[in-house]
């Protein structure tokens, strides 16, 4: 496997010689985003996005930095949607504090929702995502022109892919490993809760049945895009979701995400954003994040996502079928900071960290309310969208990165 990584590094190095492959976008007066497209196969959609958010010493001249953080997004949303939504998002905050921020768009994020044949995605699973992540990190390191290893941050499904990638790195000589610290954000790969495991087994069985029937993609992203678009364009209009207005439907996606996953939700009352409800249980508004950011987040959803990826992750959690990408968790020894939201996966993500070989494991769980009010507490996306996320999440994270 390390020979493949050496090949990735050679290809990535060649990319640094081709400036025309770069798109630059100013984010602030001295922070810019650079975007690359990298081929990872011969198919029309075998392409990943590579992003860099960095402070510049002059226009088009990235400042030299030692600390590098690589971001891996999760389901439905690509890098920009997941991490650059809002007026002053996490990557900009990190760049302003001297961090060179890189990120991936997995190949499925660019697949349109208008195709009639998705069979080419039938094998697009967690192992492919992990390989693409390794390639993207190698390209980032080559483009930087430095040998510094990266701190990997994986949010949601990106955290599960991060565990898979780090497990594969343990099988490489130490000199070829690329990650020296890991921040899994609001997710678990393994669980010691029998109900969560049973739900994962049921979800895996359902998705495997869909794949066997020829359904290779999940189209939830397209639905969420429509909901978010209507919430902005016609907030008071009647939604196609039951008794809600379009605004209320948009809020429902954020405040009561678990209703779309029931009865097999990964944790009770799982939601993106903490919010309040009226006397009839209708979403009435957000507690920690701005509605406009939630609706912008929803509108940026990718149309389709491979069912193989979803099934793979649930099979790993179910633990009834052996999957190869979770075989080396105990060999992972890099420092780990687990971050959770009490209204998201919260402390349920801690169990996976106990299966690692790491001796330096810390955690940060954002909980604002008693556990009996989990429905209203800080949510999965509040960690990046909330008005106080900088103080509660990003600054402690930055301190940890600098210390490691």
| CA separation for the pair 379, 273 (Å, rounded) | 4
Cα 252 from Cα 223, distance rounded (Å): 13
pLDDT of 320: 93
Q: What is the mean pLDDT of the chain?
A: 94
Q: Please state the separation of Cα 60 from the chain's center in Å.
A: 28
Q: Burial letters for 258-274: b for 16+ Cβ neighbours within 10 Å, e otherwise? A: beeeeebbbbebbbbbb
> Considering only CA atoms, which of 361, 358, 360 is closest in space to residue 350?
361
* CA pair distance 384, 398, nearest whole angstrom: 14
Residue 16's pLDDT is what? 41
pLDDT digits (tens, 9 = 90+) for 92-129: 999 999 999 999 999 999 999 999 999 999 999 999 99
Share of the chain above pLDDT 70, in %: 95
* pLDDT digit string, tens, across residues 248-261: 999 999 999 999 99
Q: Is the pLDDT of residue 18 over 50?
A: no
pLDDT band at 146 (very low <50, low <70, confident <90, very high): confident
Mean pLDDT of 64-82: 97
pLDDT: which is higher, 7 or 211: 211
Q: Is the Cβ–Cβ distance between 179 and 166 less than 8 Å? A: yes
Q: What pLDDT is recorded for position 15?
A: 47
Q: Kindly state the helix (H) or strand (E) to which residue 225 belongs, with its residue range.
A: helix 220-233
Q: Domains along the chain? A: 2-114+125-193+334-403 (3.40.50.1820)
Q: Which two tokens stand for residue 327?
A: 């075989």
Neighbours of 359 (CB within 10 A): 8
pTM of the entire structure?
0.95
Query: For residues 169 and 395, what is the distance between their CA atoms, to the nearest angstrom?
Result: 29
- As a three-state string, the secondary structure of 363-403 is EEEECCCCHHHHHHCCCCCHHHHCCCHHHHHHHHHHHHHHH
């Amino acid at each position: 496997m390390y020979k493949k990584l050496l090949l990735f590094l050679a290809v990535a190095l060649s990319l640094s010689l081709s400036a025309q492959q770069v798109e630059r976008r100013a984010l602030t007066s001295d922070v810019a985003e650079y975007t690359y497209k990298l081929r990872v196969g011969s198919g029309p959609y075998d392409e990943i996005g590579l992003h860099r958010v960095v402070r510049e010493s002059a226009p088009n001249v990235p400042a030299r930095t030692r600390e590098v953080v690589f971001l891996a997004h999760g389901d439905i949303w690509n890098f920009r949607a997941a991490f650059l939504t809002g007026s002053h998002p996490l990557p900009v905050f990190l760049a302003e504090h001297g961090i060179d921020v890189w990120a991936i768009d997995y190949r499925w994020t660019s697949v349109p929702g208008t195709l009639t044949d998705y069979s080419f995605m039938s094998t697009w699973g967690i192992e492919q995502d992990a390989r693409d992540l390794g390639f993207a990190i190698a390209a980032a390191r080559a483009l930087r022109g430095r040998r510094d290893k990266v701190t990997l941050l994986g949010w949601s499904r990106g955290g599960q892919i991060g565990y898979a990638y780090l497990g594969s790195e343990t099988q490489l000589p130490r000199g070829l490993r690329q990650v020296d610290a890991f921040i899994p954000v609001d997710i678990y790969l393994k669980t010691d809760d029998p109900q969560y495991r049973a739900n994962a087994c049921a979800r895996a069985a359902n998705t495997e049945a869909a794949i066997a029937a020829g359904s290779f993609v999940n189209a939830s992203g397209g639905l969420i895009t429509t909901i978010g678009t209507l919430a902005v364009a016609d907030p008071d209009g009647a939604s196609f979701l039951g008794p809600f207005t379009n605004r209320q439907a948009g809020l429902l996606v954020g405040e009561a995400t678990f209703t779309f996953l029931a009865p097999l939700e990964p944790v009770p009352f799982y939601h993106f954003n903490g919010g309040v409800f009226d006397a009839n249980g209708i979403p009435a508004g957000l507690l920690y994040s701005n509605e406009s950011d939630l609706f912008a987040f929803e509108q940026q959803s990718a149309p389709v996502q491979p069912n193989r990826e979803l099934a793979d992750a649930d099979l790993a959690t179910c633990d009834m079928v052996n999957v190869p990408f979770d075989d080396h968790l105990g060999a992972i020894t890099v420092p780990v900071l687990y971050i959770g939201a009490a209204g998201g996966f919260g402390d349920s993500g801690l169990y996976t960290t106990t299966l690692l070989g790491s001796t330096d494991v810390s955690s940060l769980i954002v909980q604002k309310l008693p556990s009996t009010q989990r429905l209203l507490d800080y949510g999965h996306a509040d960690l990046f969208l909330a008005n106080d996320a900088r103080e509660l999440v990003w600054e402690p994270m930055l301190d940890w990165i600098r210390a490691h």
